[in-house]
Structure 1
Amino acid sequence: MNTCIKLGLLLCFAVVNSLGAQTTSNLLFRSSFDNVIVDKTVSWNHHLRGTDTITNFTFPDDLPGDFIEHYFNYVVGDMDNYFEYANAEIVNTTGYDGSPTNALYIEFIKDDPNFIAYSRVQYAMYGDESSDDPVQRMNQGYVKYRIKTHIDHSDTISDWRIPIEWKDMDDDGFRMGLYIYDSNTSSPYWVVKGQYMIDGELGDDVWQYDNYTFPVIEDDWFELEVYWYGHPDPTVGRLQVAINGQMVFDVTNQTKDPAQPEKMFYFMPFKVYGTVGYSWITDFEYRDLPPSTSVLNADEAFRLNWPYIYPVPATQRLNFSTGTSGLEYRIYTVTGEIVKKGLVESRQIDVSMLKNGLYFMEFVDRAHGAQHCVKFIVEHY
């Protein structure tokens, strides 16, 4: 190996090993829904209540934001008979490890034909207007939980489903969400989307990213992680999604309305909207930032606006989180051999020809005289 490559790889190792440094992640809430109920003493808004016997966190008092305003609502026309269309309750079921566990069960049973929009059930968390903290205003945060979901593919109400969503208050401003789409393809696929809302009506899409390669897991438990930072600047706003410890989406883009960036989000971490179906949820965790053990990590590469690559491990393609026009790349083995190089002409690179193993990718931005290096794994199944 020549000296230039050795020095380059040493620099690459140093940069990679420096990634992950961030402000300490603070645990704000955790619950497996033990000793927790869905309080249905009133007909309209149902609250999660109770102190978890395992974690000692209390619903809703210990949650971030304006906890008094955190509740389930059933978006239907006939509220006297909401239970015909949607439901939320705590049940005991078989957990991800085969043992009995408490879980939140939410179900969209059927659409209310007399309602102007699709019916849905959602747990809405509202920001604290008196706080300047973006976490307390629902404009920043990290959530993780285990979920098992079922989708009725014979349902013709819609060809999409939203399990988690963020909206500006009053449904006016910006909205973003994680979607499962079930159209124009032989199998369901993941989508994240950001779009405007005007007085509750959908406006223009600002961005949309599709992931056809990471499977939609149905009728089995998986771990879902999200990190978001609401900001109108497309170089600062952030939405990350990971499933079972693998990055599925890493979006750096506008995530707030520039005309009203101070608006709070209301956050819906648990939701069934779109296609008829149901979900079980347990091991709910809420933090201000991703922990160091998470693949979601607001690290130095993000602050320097370099692109993230995902998924890791990669099988066929590496995707890029941001625009990469004009970037050169070189992929090295751990011995320093260049196995692929070129220009990033789209937001992905084909790595199907690489053998299983660890690789390093060096980015070169000649326009700004800058270099950056990341590591990744190729793993063909």
Structure 2
Amino acid sequence: MSRRDVVVVGGSIAALTAVEVLRMEDFDGRITVLSEEDVPPYTRVPLSKGVLAGTESIDDIVLAPLADDVDLRLRTAATALDLDTKTVHTPSGPVHYDGLVIATGGRARRLGTPDQQERVLRTHGDCARLRDALAAASSVLVVGGGFLGMEVASTARALGKEVTVVDLALPLDRLLGTVVGGYVRSVATQAGVRIVVTDGGVRLQGAPTPTGVQLVDGTRLEADLVVSAVGDVPNVEWLAGSGVAVRGGLVVDHRCRVAPDVVAAGDVTVTSVGDGQLTRSPQWTNAVEQARTAVQALLHGDAAAPYRPSRYCWTEQFGLDVKMVGEPDAQGGPAVLDGALDSGSALLAWPDAGTPRTVIAVNHRTPPAKLKRLLRPAQGALLC
């Protein structure tokens, strides 16, 4: 069909990419972007680093401005979707579409009770509040040892704060494997970070502002500032009753389609890995790549190429630049393609150099594009 009105719901990098691809594909109809945030689309990557440290501002992280012919509506949340009438409902009234891109992303997962003002880091607003609290704190307790939690810990430690990270498992092993995860942890501990592993969950203590956590064995850890970095939750509640498939996220097919004339991209989505299991990939690269596929499918249908993820991610913490492509299953000893971890720069592959399924660069000059080319062809396999 000839589309004239495309609505993009969300203000994320996936939303911005969708708009850019629409224009690159010579779509000359109306584009309306609905974002519940109060600032234009921005990159979240520096929030845990320069913005939290106070060396960058929101102006520094706002992405390329949308063209004048794009109707960007800030502070406009989508509240419901009607597939029959092709309408997105908002507090300010209905918005009609003949093509819809859902890119509502996710929100920070919380551990606390409703009466607790839990510190999290997901939006620029979260970051502004956390930055102010961090400036007044001398000690910081980070709950969660994933990329975000360890990046927050790195920033706090660089600012001279006493830092403790608590998690259910050794931080970063699940994401980077035991070899690289262990190396990054060693650098973190040498920098003065205390790491606590608890066999069970934690409970935030104190209200309205948490002042510590209690472990399952009764141990209490306290700090001036407690930060929860325990993952995210897809923003799918507004889709209730719409008829789209929601199972731990918005289910998309191998071309990022949701329903007739509706596609989705980014952290809000889940995809099948081919065995009936659904998976999420809440990463910057995935959001961009899915948005490209989604728009192609919206405009060209089955003629569009299916989504082939590059499975690339990265983190910067404690003076380390870590880039990974492939699955987070880098267990056992790697093949060393260049350098050595002991020297502070290495290019590593698992399970071997001939047919690697995972490649990790630590403070290594190899650019992302070359890392992706190092993987065996099956790593670009179709998610369907």
Using structure 1 for the length normalisation, give the TM-score.
Answer: 0.26
Report which structure shows greater RCO (CA 8 Å, sep ≥6).
Answer: 1
Using structure 2 for the length normalisation, give the TM-score.
Answer: 0.26
Give 1 or 2: higher strand fraction: 1
